[in-house]
Amino acid sequence: MGKGGRDQLAKALKSHTQSIHETFQMLDQSISSSLEKIDWSEVTKVGNDISKQATVAGMLWSGEAPNLRELEENMGVYCNMLQGFLLLCHGSMVGAGPTLGASIRASAKQVIDSSLSLLREGVSSYGSRSANSKLSIPQLAGFVWEACEALKKTPTTNYTAIGRAITQVAVSVKDVLREMKDLKPCSIPSTSGPEDITPEGGPDMTSSPHDEEGSSEGDLGNDLSPDEMLIAQSVVVVVSDVLIVIKEIIRFVMGLLRQSNDPNSSSDCVDSLERLLEMCKEIGIQVDELGACVYPPQEVSLMKAAAKKISGGVNGLRAEIQNIEGPLDGFFHACEDLESSLRKLDSELSCLGKDLVPEMQGLAMQDHERNT
C-alpha cells in the first residue's frame, strides 16, 4: 500500500506542479495597463494563508500514520491556493516596469519553489519510516514561512524597486572603494618628508612601519610602486566620486517617490528610471574593472578604457535626468567632481604610458644584446 499510495500522490503532485508552472509563466508576460491593479496587501494576505497551509501540510505529512485521502485533499487545497496566489501576483504587476516585475516574480518564485519542495518531500516520505523525513518536513515548512514573510518586504512601486536596485550598485561600488583604501605602497620612508604628502584631494593611503610589519607578505597591495600608488590614489578619488553620484541618483529617485501620488502612473518616467538603473549598473561594472586593474601589474589601457566608459555613463545619466522633473540639487555638482577626477586619472595614466615606452624599449635592447 505504501508504494501504491506514494505513486498515486506523486501522480497527483505532478499534475498540480505542471499546472502551477504554466500559471507562473504568466508573470513573464506583459499585462495591460487598463486592467485594475491588485493591491500588494492582497498578495501578502494570501501569503499568510499559504504559510498556515504549509503548517497543516507539515503536520499531516510527518504524522505517524498519515491518511492517503487526507494527504491528497490537502495537496489539492494547497496547490489551488498557490494558483490563486500567482493570479494575484500577476494582477499586482499592472503598471510595473521590468525591475518591479522582476522583484514580484522573484518573491513569488520563492513561495512556489519552497511549497513544492515541501510537497515533494512529503510524497517521497509517504510510507517510509525514515527519521530523516520527519526532520526535513518541518524544516521545509519553515522555508515556506520565510518566503511568505519576505513578501512583506517586496517593493510595491516602480520607484522603490528601482531605488533598491541602484542601492545594490552603490553597495558594490562601496566594496571596491574599501578594497582600494586597503592598498599599501611597497615601501614606507622611515622619516617624514615631502614624499609622505599625498596629492591634493587624494586620500592618505600610506601606513606606518608598524602597520607594514603587521601585514601579511602575500598582500597584493604591498607590491605597488610609487607610480602605481599614485594611480591607485587617483582611482580611489574616482570611485569615491562615483559613489557620491550614485547616492545623488538614489536621493533623486526617492524624491520622485515622495512627490508622486501614483508612482506607477507615468510610464515615460518609469522608462527613464529604468534607463538610469541600467547606466548605473554599467558604471558599477566599469568600477569593478577599474579596481581590478589597480593591482600590479597595472593595465593602463584597460584602466583608460574603463574610465572612458564611466565618463560616457555619467554623460548618459546627466542627459536622462534632465528629461525628468524632480529634485536635482547636488547631482550635477557631483557629476562635475567625478568628471574632474576622471580627467586627472586619464592624464596620469597617459603620463605613465609614455614612461613605459622607453622602459620597454630598453628591456628589449638588453634582451637583444644578451642573445647576440
Task: Tell me, yes or no, whether 131 and 164 share the same domain.
Answer: no
More confident residue, 136 or 328: 136
Task: Tell me, yes or no, whether 272 and 333 share the same domain.
Answer: yes
Q: What is the mean pLDDT of residues 190-210?
A: 43
Please provide the distance, in angstroms rounded to a whole number, between the alpha carbons at the two ends of the chain: 88
| Residues 231, 233, 237: CA angle, nearest 5 degrees | 115
Q: In this predicted structure, what is the pLDDT of residue 203?
A: 47
Task: Tell me, yes or no, whether 13 and 141 share the same domain.
Answer: yes
Q: What are the backbone dihedrals phi and psi of residue 185, each rounded to the nearest 5 degrees, phi first?
A: -70, 165
Count of CB atoms situated within 10 Å of the CB of 364: 10
Residue 215 lies in a domain: no
Task: Tell me, yes or no, whether 19 and 139 share the same domain.
Answer: yes
Task: Tell me, yes or no, whether 47 and 165 share the same domain.
Answer: no
Q: Give me the CATH number covering residue 68.
A: 1.20.1420.10
Whether the full predicted model's pTM is greater than 0.85, yes or no, is no
CA distance 330 to 251: 10
pLDDT band at 219 (very low <50, low <70, confident <90, very high): very low
Query: Could you tell me the residue range of the domain that residue 327 belongs to?
Result: 157-183+224-356
Question: If DSSP codes are grouped into helix, strand and coil, which group holds residue 185?
Answer: strand
CA distance 319 to 246: 15
Q: For the segment 7-55, what is each residue's pLDDT rounded down to a tens digit?
A: 899 999 999 999 999 999 999 988 888 889 999 999 999 999 999 999 9
Total residue length of the chain: 372
Give residues with Cβ within 8 angstroms of 187, minimum separation 6: none
Task: Tell me, yes or no, whether 144 and 168 share the same domain.
Answer: no
Task: Tell me, yes or no, whether 140 and 83 share the same domain.
Answer: yes
Least Cα distance to 158 among 245, 42, 246, 262 occurs for 262
Task: Tell me, yes or no, whether 119 and 11 share the same domain.
Answer: yes
Task: Tell me, yes or no, whether 166 and 255 share the same domain.
Answer: yes
CA distance 262 to 94: 12
Question: If DSSP codes are grouped into helix, strand and coil, which group holds residue 224?
Answer: strand
pLDDT band at 187 (very low <50, low <70, confident <90, very high): low
Give residues with Cβ within 8 angstroms of 46, minimum separation 6: 81, 84, 85, 88
Task: Tell me, yes or no, whether 176 and 112 share the same domain.
Answer: no
Q: What is the mean pLDDT of residues 204-218?
A: 44
Q: Rounded mean pLDDT of the chain?
A: 84
Number of domains in the chain: 2
CA distance 361 to 270: 54
Q: In this predicted structure, what is the pLDDT of residue 67?
A: 80
